[in-house]
Structure 1
Amino acid sequence: MLKRLAVALTVTTALLASAVAKAETLRFGHANAPGEVLNDLFNEFAEKVKERSGGELEIQVFPSEQLGKEVDLIQQVKFGALDISAPSMPAMAGLVPALEMASTPFLWTDWAEAEQVLRGPAFEPLWDELRDQHNIVPLTKISYWGWRNFTFTDREVRKPEDMAGLKIRVPESPIWVEMIRAFGAAPTPIPFGEVYTALQQKTVDGQENPIPTIYSRKYYEVQGVLTLDRHMLQNNTVLISKITWDRLSEEHQKILREEAEAISKKNSELQQGRERDMLEEIRKSGRTKIIEDVDIEAFKAAMEPVYPQLAERWGQENWQRLQDAIAEIRKQ
């Protein structure tokens, strides 16, 4: 009887342990809102992970900064309070300043060039630093969100001098502050979720974002001018806390990485098509005048004195490695 009881207890314990193992739930907080393609893809990511893991991994998705602002979510991931998030690379500059280099104004020729460099060895030491010093592991390092452009309440901006005296909303990241100052305007940090209201109430005179954000967040409804200067390329990531990562099985790690890469690739393809369509919808709305004859060279010239200051913060070695990688691609 005692032997049977011992066996029964062992089996029961094993079953309970198995049940606990199958109850692994990961929390995924991000800034994208319903209606944006990335929000839909993050939900698809959660479904695919659950399906492939046989229900052993479940992901609860919290959009629209429900769990905190973008920079707060990164800190939560670092300390294991949040499992997964999907910030832009510059948002991580508070941890690894050189990750901000990906958003250097007027750096990239096109998306293909950026993708090749960001996936290559030039950025590898930065991802290693993020993992080793800040407990954050990238599930995917690159996902296209779009070229960033300016919108203004009513001023037609074609060159930096046209921005003189304007208050421009910027994200909480140093590179934006330096860029706006270089163009002669006043950088005004405002949380992402409060931008529409700030534009509507004229707390600021303008903002800058990719076309999909300008469209989905309806900024064009309260901004009379859209200047297509394509000053930055925004790249998003999907990150997981190393504290979470280390407790997962290799199989579960593989599933998360593969599914994150799958949605990132899908997003990059979808978003580029949507970017064109959304710009056309903004044009058709008649609410916003689209400025296309922009003096890009004048904007680049205004940025030239700023690059050495930025490189100082990023580390000269990191900046040179990036420049060398870009030069090598352009020789091909």
Structure 2
Amino acid sequence: MKRFPLVRWLAVPCAALALLAAGAQAADIKARQVKFAFVNNAEHSQGIGAKRFAELVAQKSGGKINVQVYPAGVLGGDLQVISSLQGGTVDMTAVSAGLLVSRDKAFGIFDFPFLFANAKEADAVVDGPFGKRMNERVLGQGLVNLSWWDIGFRSVANSKRPIVKAEDIKGLKIRVIQSPIYVDFFRALGANPVAMPFSELYTAMETRTVDALENPISNVEVNKFYEVSKYLSITNHMYNPMLILFSKKIWDQYTPDERELLTSAAEEAKLYQRKVSRDQDAQSLETVKKAGLQVNEVAPAELAKMRQMAQPVIDKYRKEVGEDISDAMDKAVREARANSK
């Protein structure tokens, strides 16, 4: 077999890096520091996606743009960080769509119970015309959405009892995100919802300030909520897409080349992050079972009963988010389902 000098092999990656650096030099890209803050741990798919994004930005900019990742709420809870973006003191974050409701009621559409049948439907909706329409809306809030990532379907973990029937939720004191539709949805099921920041949830479960939480399974595992819960009931009651938001105040100071670079990196990282998120959910389910959490899947008939109980809430929020947004979402979901057949 013909042998090649080691230096020749080393020349290949070095040449590739040189090309990247030359491309960044030719483009209008300056040396910049980007603060990327979010509430989940670095091991969560949110953190893994942020790390991949940072790596891509470094590669594409020839090392000029350095993305500094701040996980686990070290710069504040979701709403606090969004305010920091609007003020221009933090550059970017990753948040669930529902957390924008207090600024634009139209984003409540993503919190409608049992909206998507599966992740494929959700991807088609946010990656299509409907997602682009919602991107336009965040601009008015002083924010720029670079991409749509995944958090996953939400289920209920609690310290009291397994949820086998819809009625089993009644009386549970459950933490929900700071979005009115979550409060009304669980109130309609007979629970006592408590809106609080995610960063306070573990302590609230530990001290029994709340009995229950509703989160994607990966959140339950990565944030060790199995230590303060006994039961996990798979309800898949809501699906959360995640926006990768950038401060418009800072974005407006960037060159077109820098904006294109950041957007392309976020879109490229999206595919990786979605796969990690969905793989994590499957792996997390096994992990929490081994940790002692009692897991049960709620029967379709009981889920249908929950949706029926929640129908007045859905009807109320169709008007809140706007009939035009509700109709556009209905159309997008129908098209996604038709294309998946």
Instruction: Give me the TM-score of the superposition, normalised by structure 2.
Output: 0.86
Contact 2:39 2:73 in 1 (8 A): yes
- Identify the residue that residue 5 of structure 1 maps to in structure 2: none
2:112 is aligned, of 80, 93, 104, to: 104
* CA apart distance, 1:67: 1.4
Provide the rounded CA distance (Å) in 2 between the counterparts of 1:58 and 1:35: 20
- Identify the residue that residue 318 of structure 1 maps to in structure 2: 325
Does 2:304 correspond to 1:297?
yes
Provide the rounded CA distance (Å) in 2 between the counterparts of 1:293 and 1:257: 39
* CA apart distance, 1:178: 1.1
* CA apart distance, 1:331: 3.5
Does 2:259 correspond to 1:259?
no
The amino acid of 2:337's aligned partner reads R
- Identify the residue that residue 143 of structure 2 maps to in structure 1: 136
* CA apart distance, 1:54: 2.3
* CA apart distance, 1:81: 2.2
Aligned residue pairs, count: 309
Contact 2:174 2:210 in 1 (8 A): yes
Contact 1:136 1:239 in 2 (8 A): yes
Cα deviation, 1:18-46, whole Å, max 9, x if unaligned, reads xxx84422222111213223213312322
Cα deviation, 1:245-289, whole Å, max 9, x if unaligned, reads 22212221111111111222101112212211110121222x221
Contact 1:147 1:232 in 2 (8 A): yes
Provide the rounded CA distance (Å) in 2 between the counterparts of 1:152 and 1:306: 23
Cα deviation, 1:297-320, whole Å, max 9, x if unaligned, reads 111111111111111210111111
Does 2:243 correspond to 1:237?
yes
Contact 1:84 1:238 in 2 (8 A): yes
* CA apart distance, 1:160: 2.6
* CA apart distance, 1:60: 2.0
Contact 1:91 1:173 in 2 (8 A): yes
Does 2:53 correspond to 1:40?
no
Provide the rounded CA distance (Å) in 2 between the counterparts of 1:51 and 1:127: 26
After superposing on structure 2, the runs of 4+ consecutive aligned residues of structure 1 that deviate more than 3 Å are none
- Identify the residue that residue 30 of structure 1 maps to in structure 2: 38
1:50 is aligned, of 58, 69, 72, to: 58
Give the direction of change, closer, same or farther, for the CA distance of 1:148–1:165 in structure 2 (3 Å limit).
same
Structure 2: runs of 5+ lacking an equivalent: 1-28
Contact 1:148 1:232 in 2 (8 A): yes
* CA apart distance, 1:139: 0.8
Structure 1: runs of 5+ lacking an equivalent: 1-20
Does 2:293 correspond to 1:288?
yes
* CA apart distance, 1:219: 0.8
- Identify the residue that residue 201 of structure 2 maps to in structure 1: 195
1:305 is paired with a residue whose SS is: helix
* CA apart distance, 1:168: 0.5
Does 2:336 correspond to 1:329?
yes
* CA apart distance, 1:241: 1.4
Contact 1:76 1:82 in 2 (8 A): yes
Instruction: Give me the TM-score of the superposition, normalised by structure 1.
Output: 0.88
Contact 2:165 2:298 in 1 (8 A): no
- Identify the residue that residue 75 of structure 1 maps to in structure 2: 83
The amino acid of 1:320's aligned partner reads D
Cα deviation, 1:211-257, whole Å, max 9, x if unaligned, reads 10000111112211111111011211211112222221222111111
